[in-house]
Amino acid sequence: MLLETRFRKVITLPSPNLIAHTLREEKADIVLLDMNFSAGTNTGNEGLYWLSEIKKQQPSLPVVLFTAYADIGLAVRGIKEGAADFIVKPWDNAQLIETLLKYASPPPATPAGHTSREGKEGMFWGYSETMNNLRSLIEKVARTDANILLTGENGTGKEMLAREIHALSNRKQAPIVTVDMGAITETLFESELFGHVKGAFTDARADRPGKFEAAHRGTLFLDEIGNLPFHLQAKLLTALQSRSIVRVGSNTPAPVDIRLISATNKDLKEMVDKGLFREDLLYRINTIHVEIPPLRRRPEDILPLAGIFLRRYAGVYGKPALHLSEAAGEKLKTQAWAGNIRELQHAIEKAVIISEGDTLEATHFSFPDKKASSLPKEATTLEEMEYNMIKRAMEKHNGNLSLVAAQLGISRQTLYNKIKRYEL
Burial group, residue 239, by CB count within 10 angstroms (0-12, 13-18, 19+): buried
Residue 300 within a domain: yes
Q: Please compute, for residue 183, the number of CA atoms within 13 A of its CA located in the half-sphere on the CB side.
A: 12
- For the cut 80, the answer to whether the pLDDT of residue 365 exceeds it is yes
Asked which of 5-19, 79-93, 283-297 is least confident by mean pLDDT, the reply is: 79-93
Cα separation, 1 vs 216, in Å, equals: 13
Look at 213 and 59; give whichever has higher pLDDT. 213
Tally of domains in the chain: 4
Residue 67 within a domain: yes
**Residue 420: what pLDDT?**
66
Give the pairing type, strands 288-291 and 148-151: parallel
Cα separation, 55 vs 61, in Å, equals: 7
What type of residue sits at position 209?
P
Residue 136: C-alpha distances to residues 111, 151, 168, 191, 303 (Å): 21, 17, 12, 38, 23
pLDDT tens, position by position, 335-351: 989 899 999 999 999 99
Q: Which of 254, 270, 291 is the last residue of a domain?
A: 291
**Residue 47: what pLDDT?**
85
Indicate if 83 and 188 belong to the same structural domain.
no
Percentage of residues of the chain with pLDDT beyond 70: 87
Q: Which of 49, 69, 103 is the last residue of a domain?
A: 103
* Three-class secondary structure of residue 126 per DSSP: coil
Indicate if 13 and 38 belong to the same structural domain.
yes
Indicate if 136 and 218 belong to the same structural domain.
yes
Cα separation, 104 vs 100, in Å, equals: 6
Asked which of 81-85, 165-169, 229-233, 342-346 is least confident by mean pLDDT, the reply is: 81-85
- For the cut 90, the answer to whether the pLDDT of residue 394 exceeds it is no
Indicate if 138 and 202 belong to the same structural domain.
yes
Indicate if 176 and 280 belong to the same structural domain.
yes
Residue 62 within a domain: yes
Please, are residues 295 and 302 in contact by the beta-carbon 8 Å criterion? yes
List the one residue out of 178, 288, 189 whose CA is nearest residue 236: 189
**Residue 71: what pLDDT?**
61
* Three-class secondary structure of residue 219 per DSSP: strand
Percentage of residues of the chain with pLDDT beyond 90: 38
Look at 366 and 74; give whichever has higher pLDDT. 366
Residue 34: C-alpha distances to residues 9, 56, 101 (Å): 19, 18, 18
List the one residue out of 274, 195, 179, 170 whose CA is nearest residue 228: 179
What type of residue sits at position 348?
I
Indicate if 135 and 248 belong to the same structural domain.
yes
**Bond preceding residue 90 cis, omega within 30 of 0:** yes
Work out the angle between the directed axes of helices 382-396 and 401-408 (0-180°, nearest 10).
Answer: 130
Cα separation, 332 vs 329, in Å, equals: 5
- Residues 93-130 as b/e (b if ≥16 CB within 10 A, e otherwise) read eeebbebbeebbeeeeeebeeeeeeeeebbbbbbeeee
* pLDDT, average across residues 142-166: 93
DSSP code at position 38: S
Residue 120 within a domain: no
Indicate if 212 and 234 belong to the same structural domain.
yes
Please, are residues 6 and 177 in contact by the beta-carbon 8 Å criterion? no
Asked which of 44-58, 228-242, 274-288 is least confident by mean pLDDT, the reply is: 44-58
Residue 324 within a domain: yes
Cα separation, 355 vs 322, in Å, equals: 9
Q: Which of 291, 326, 356 is the last residue of a domain?
A: 291
Residue 122 within a domain: no
**Residue 72: what pLDDT?**
66
pLDDT tens, position by position, 304-338: 999 889 888 888 888 888 889 999 999 999 898 98
List the one residue out of 175, 50, 53 whose CA is nearest residue 65: 50
CATH code: domain of residue 85: 3.40.50.2300
Please, are residues 192 and 184 in contact by the beta-carbon 8 Å criterion? yes
**Residue 107: what pLDDT?**
40
Range of the domain at 74: 3-103
pTM confidence score:
0.61
* pLDDT, average across residues 109-135: 63
- For the cut 70, the answer to whether the pLDDT of residue 63 exceeds it is yes
Cα separation, 223 vs 264, in Å, equals: 6
Asked which of 57-71, 200-214, 376-390 is least confident by mean pLDDT, the reply is: 376-390
Q: Please compute, for residue 288, the number of CA atoms within 13 A of its CA located in the half-sphere on the CB side.
A: 20
Look at 126 and 243; give whichever has higher pLDDT. 243
* Three-class secondary structure of residue 294 per DSSP: coil
What type of residue sits at position 88?
V
Indicate if 287 and 301 belong to the same structural domain.
no
Indicate if 330 and 223 belong to the same structural domain.
no
Indicate if 138 and 228 belong to the same structural domain.
yes
Indicate if 79 and 193 belong to the same structural domain.
no
Give the model's confidence band at 35: pLDDT under 50 very low, under 70 low, under 90 confident, else very high: confident
Look at 121 and 230; give whichever has higher pLDDT. 230
- For the cut 70, the answer to whether the pLDDT of residue 378 exceeds it is no
Indicate if 198 and 273 belong to the same structural domain.
yes
Burial group, residue 85, by CB count within 10 angstroms (0-12, 13-18, 19+): middle
- For the cut 90, the answer to whether the pLDDT of residue 110 exceeds it is no
Residue 183 within a domain: yes
CATH code: domain of residue 179: 3.40.50.300
Residue 193 within a domain: yes
What value, to the nearest 5°, has the Cα angle with vertex 240 and ends 235 and 244?
90
List the one residue out of 50, 10, 13, 14 whose CA is nearest residue 28: 10
**Residue 377: what pLDDT?**
47
CB atoms within 10 A of CB 279: 13
DSSP code at position 378: P
Give the model's confidence band at 41: pLDDT under 50 very low, under 70 low, under 90 confident, else very high: low
Cα separation, 306 vs 330, in Å, equals: 12
